Amino acid sequence: MAQPTPEVRVTDTDSKETGITLPFRESSSNKPHLDSYPSLDNLLRRRLNKHREGRHKDFLTLHCLQQLLTIERVRKHLEILFQEANQGGYRPRRASAEDYLELICDHDQLSNSSMLVKRETCIRLFAILILANKGAEIFKFIDNSVHDKALPINIHDENLLDEDVQWCIEHWTELRYRDDFYMWQWKVNVPFLFYGQHQIFSAQVILPFTEPGSDSGHSTHSGVTVHNYSVTEAGGYGEVKCVEIHSKCHNFHEVFTTLPRREGPFAVKKLLQNDPIRIEKDFQKEVEMLKKFDGGVHPHIVTVLTTFKHGDCYYLIFPWAECDLGRYFENNRMPTHSLETVRWLSSQCLKIIEAVHLIHFPPGVNNLQPGDRLFGRHGDIKAENILVFRSQNGEANLVLSDFGLGSVHRDISRSNVPSNKVAVTPDFRPPECDMDGGRISRAYDVWTLGCLFLDLLTWLLGGEDLREEFENTRMTSYIDGRETRIYFEIVQTEDDKKGFIIKDQVRSWFDKLRKHSNCTKFVHEFLKLIEEDMLIVETNEKKRARTDVLLEKLRSFSEKCHGDKADLYCLHGVSDTGDPATKSVPPIVEGLLNDAATRNIKERRIPLRTVRGRTQQAEQAQDGVEIRIA
């Protein structure tokens, strides 16, 4: 493909005119020539926006074209091109160049800040022909009713060309003109990304992602933390890149006025999946969840700004977070022992519970008929899926993200998902993932929330060093032979039955935290809630608390953190006065293993530890059952 001549890459400031004047000069034959003043070709090349992926993808926005191709400037060029067309053997059907002007330029285009045009125009087509050194051909295209809406044109395949387009280019015998036209049409035809709309783009489309630090119209970024745009976050379900999007190529600006975060760079998530059928299902599932439950429903649920398919790949765009909670722990290794810190943690945990509760019990769901009620679950709550955003005043906000394992269910089937059909995060996986007949219901999220909150309290008391110690302490061999940090253990009872218990290391950790010198009344109450109502193996006698109950509890914690005795409640260490001898020991929960767990034990010959104690039968809660804390 022919390449454009070298150009100076100057960013598009959008709101400023170039300052280049185009005076006419008469030659000895009294005919104006294009080389008598700076050409539109050079002007357009100099104003290319720098693309994050390199020079070959530099682009021009419609707004930039409207700024550069002013009515007066185009008029002067058209007069010359009109003469050139006549001299070249083509007689335009209209009487003068002026008759073509309004078909290229909108009279109000300078006040139009949109990427869209109000009617059929040829401003992009005109720019392409100028850049391909075929400017005088614009009259053929307009005379044959070929407008910008015809773009993109597969100019290399004559079998796919419209007859009118074919007639316009039939005399282009040199392939370089077709190559240049094909290349430039993508550079001036970048898409506009609409909030809340799914769009499909061919693989050749150049997305409006600008080079980091380029002046692409982002006036709202002043004072925002500098981001590492080279970072790519990869997980089991997708990879995420930090990008800048040209400010004239999206309408996300108003969304940020309703969110507790600054407008800044964006996160572009590309779904990873080799199976094209599976990836489309995964994409639709995540989009369905995000559109039902996003920042518009609750500010602590991540907002999906738009989705699109580019070639064969699926993408989602979100606001870019400062980091995830795991990185936040690393960057803030020791929290300040202060009322402000405790209030922040209490508030953030409350907001996370509010967000999960809205997913479990969407607003207005009880007013619908049972068959129409939709309930959701997240399915993958962990530190990596809790994003940290800075609010306008600089406060860190924890926001729930990544619904890759989530799902939405109708009332009659919301607990009817077999555990062996759902992938799970190893560290936070609940016991029902290994149970025969185990179901992935909303109680799944309560378990993972308990793991997350215990991590947060550990960090609050002893910082990242203590949190890392907890991770290392609970590292044990799992039935598949791997070392894992899961919170439960599969054991053998005295009468050779399979059972599930909370790991001894986890139970001991609760005791360790209660004896910590900084363990306050707030931490004691929070630990009790986690241990007795969240991190439990469900039985016929005991179920995990539902989010409405947890919400009530965390609201009471928050109120005390802001009450008259907040200092005493939040900062005064209280020793653990409980008698270990009288403390209730959780039962061994008897239950059959599912096929996957049974196969792992059999194939790897993993010996199970035999434990003694009272037993209860495994039994999962039905979502319709109200569960209260004693």
Task: Give the pLDDT confidence of 347-379 residue by residue, as tens digits.
Answer: 999 999 999 998 888 775 444 344 444 567 888
Q: Identify the H or E element spanning 353.
A: helix 339-360
List phi, psi (to 5°) of 234.
-120, 140
Supply the pLDDT for residue 160. Answer: 80
- Give SS3 for 490: strand
Beta strand 198-201 with 238-245 is: unpaired
Mean pLDDT confidence for 307-330: 92
**pLDDT (0 to 100) of residue 14:** 41
The least confident of 92-106, 253-267, 470-484, 486-500 is 253-267
Give the orientation angle of helix 339-360 with respect to helix 443-473, to 10 degrees.
140
Tell me the pLDDT tens digit for each residue of 372-381: 445 678 888 9
Q: Look at 394 and 292; give whichever has higher pLDDT.
A: 394
Is the pLDDT confidence value at 85 over 50?
yes
Spatial separation of the C-alpha atoms in residues 397 and 389, rounded to whole Å: 5
What's the pLDDT tens digit per position in 257-286? 776 666 778 999 888 766 677 777 777 776
| Sign of the alpha-carbon dihedral angle for 383, 389, 390, 395 | negative
Residue 515 CA to residue 510 CA, distance in Å, equals 9
Q: Tell me the C-alpha distance between 165 and 267, whole Å.
A: 39
Q: Given pLDDT bands bounded at 50, 70 and 90, which one contains residue 158?
A: confident
Architecture of domain 198-214+226-319: 2-Layer Sandwich (3.30)
Can you tell me the mean pLDDT for 210-227? 49
- 221: pLDDT strictly greater than 70: no
How open is the CA angle 469-470-476, to the nearest 5 degrees?
105
What percent of the chain is predicted at pLDDT more than 70? 77
Question: How big is the chain by its Cα radius of gyration, in Å?
Answer: 32
For the chain, give every domain's residue range. Answer: 34-187, 198-214+226-319, 323-617
Give the integer Cα–Cα distance in Å for 544 and 546: 6
Q: Which two tokens stand for residue 427?
A: 């560290």
pLDDT at 255 over 90: no
| pLDDT-derived band at 35, boundaries 50, 70, 90 | very low
Least confident of 31-35, 125-129, 207-211: 31-35
Angle at 216 between CA 215 and CA 219, to 5 degrees: 80
- How much is the pLDDT for 218? 42
Q: Which of 229-238, 426-435, 560-569 has the lowest mean pLDDT?
A: 229-238
Phi/psi region, residue 525 (left: phi>0; alpha: psi -120 to 50; beta: rest), is alpha
Residue reference for tokens 């007013």: 367
Alpha helices in 440-594 (DSSP H): 443-473, 504-514, 521-533, 547-561, 566-571
Residue 507 has pLDDT above 60, yes or no: yes
Question: DSSP label at 129?
Answer: H
pLDDT of 413 above 90: no
pLDDT of residue 480: 84
Tokens of 22: 């185009």
Pick from 318, 52, 319, 4: nearest CA to 208: 52
Cβ atoms within 10 A of the Cβ of 110, count?
14
Confidence of residue 250 (pLDDT cuts 50, 70, 90): very high
Q: Three-state DSSP class for 407?
A: strand
- SS3 at position 94: coil
pTM across the whole model:
0.79
538-580, pLDDT tens digit by residue?
999 999 999 999 999 999 999 999 999 999 999 999 977 665 6
**The predicted structure's pLDDT at residue 409:** 46
Query: Would you say residue 178 has pLDDT above 60?
Result: yes
Task: Judge whether residue 422 has pLDDT over 70.
Answer: no
Query: Domain spanning 323-617 has what CATH number?
Result: 1.10.510.10
More confident residue, 388 or 367: 388
Q: State residue 584's pLDDT score.
A: 78
